[in-house]
Amino acid sequence: MPRATDEDLFQSSTMTFGEHLEELRTCLIRASLGLAVAVLLGLFVARPVVHLIEQPLKRALGDYYTAAALDTFDGWRPRVDGGTPLPYSRDEVVDAVERHGLSFELREVHPDRLARALGTSPSAAAAGDVPVPTTFATDDLVPVLLWQPLARDPRVSITTLSAQEAFGIYVKAALLVGIVLASPWIFYQLWTFVAAGLYSHEKRWVWTFLPLSIGLFLAGVSLAFFFVFDFVLSYLLQFNAWLGLDPDPRISEWLSFVLILPIGFGLGFQLPLVMLFLERIGVFDVAAYASQWRIAILVIVIVSAVLTPADPYSMLFLAVPLCLLYFGGLGLCRWFGTGSAGESRALQATKASQ
């Protein structure tokens, strides 16, 4: 509810409601032009950005298939008692995977047939005298491990399914770069519009809120990209393993995920400033924020579920910081509310003396 010392937001403004709409239109056009310029700049760096964005997914896929291969290694048993064991110890396999970055597939062969094909069998010359079996001898199979660098493993590569999909990926990467680059300019335009409706003694706070708003947005984006992605991918791939489904990700789907999640985090991190703005215009007061914190947490959880993909990790990684930011916003409202009340009384005293 409005504070007793508050006046109407636009009471002392010389701008009409239509002029405020015109100011909003101007700010949105400027923000859009800034975004367009940033996207154009993003086109020049989109290629390395695509490779950068691929890294968390490739890393998660590598961990997934490495763990699956080790499970296969641990679960392998000779077909017959006393049969040929695996040619490597588990310590050797772990060392090759973790220290040398190799991946492997476990296969089985007939050693005499392989030697004969390679011409290294002592009886290779007399191979024509050996009768051809009529049945396949599964008990004679012995295990071999086929090694290759993990980076060249086709299961870890990220695919496209159409010729035009690569161009769409390139444009999306440029859009992501443009949003991040243009975010200071976009927030500046939004705060410029807000400043147009503030009292003259309150407009100076815009220059405090503007860098704070930009910093919160970039903090949310950084949290999503450098911390949340690994946990979310690990969970989703573990769910694939639990269902017995091998993932075959497409870069376009992953890029859409990368585009939505950081922006959702960046916008969500604006919560303290939104709370302060609503408190300043009289929609809520500090007492309402303090008494309705349980409802606020419920709303935060719902909003986090909307702004993030359908997995619990990304929702929790957004909801928990937002809950902390809610109480931070409550403290911000208390701090600025005290100061603004004194300023408001001083402004009223000035008006009364006039």
Q: What is the pLDDT of residues 87-99, one digit of tens each?
A: 888 899 989 988 8
What's residue 14's pLDDT?
54
User: pLDDT digit string (tens) for 215-234?
Assistant: 888 888 888 888 888 888 88
Q: Under DSSP, is residue 8 helix (H, G, I), strand (E, B) or coil?
A: coil
Residue 130 clears pLDDT 70, i.e. is over it:
no
Q: How far apart are CA 99 and CA 77, in angstroms?
A: 26
Structure tokens at 272: 């303290």
pLDDT in the model for residue 34:
92
- pLDDT tier at 33, thresholds 50, 70, 90: very high
- Other beta carbons within 10 Å of 311: 15
How does DSSP assign 127-176, residue by residue? Answer: GGGSPPPSS--GGG-EEEEEEEEGGG-TTTS-B-SSTTHHHHHHHHHHHH
Which value, to the nearest 10 degrees, does the dihedral of the CA atoms of residues 116, 119, 122, 123 take? 50
Q: Tell me, what's the pLDDT at 340?
A: 47
The span from the CA of 42 to the CA of 175, in Å, is 7
Threshold 0.75, pTM exceeds: no
Confidence band of 15 (pLDDT split at 50, 70, 90): low
Task: Calculate mean pLDDT across residues 36-52.
Answer: 90
User: pLDDT averaged over the chain?
Assistant: 79
Helix (H) or strand (E) holding 340: helix 312-353
Residue 7 has pLDDT above 80, yes or no: no
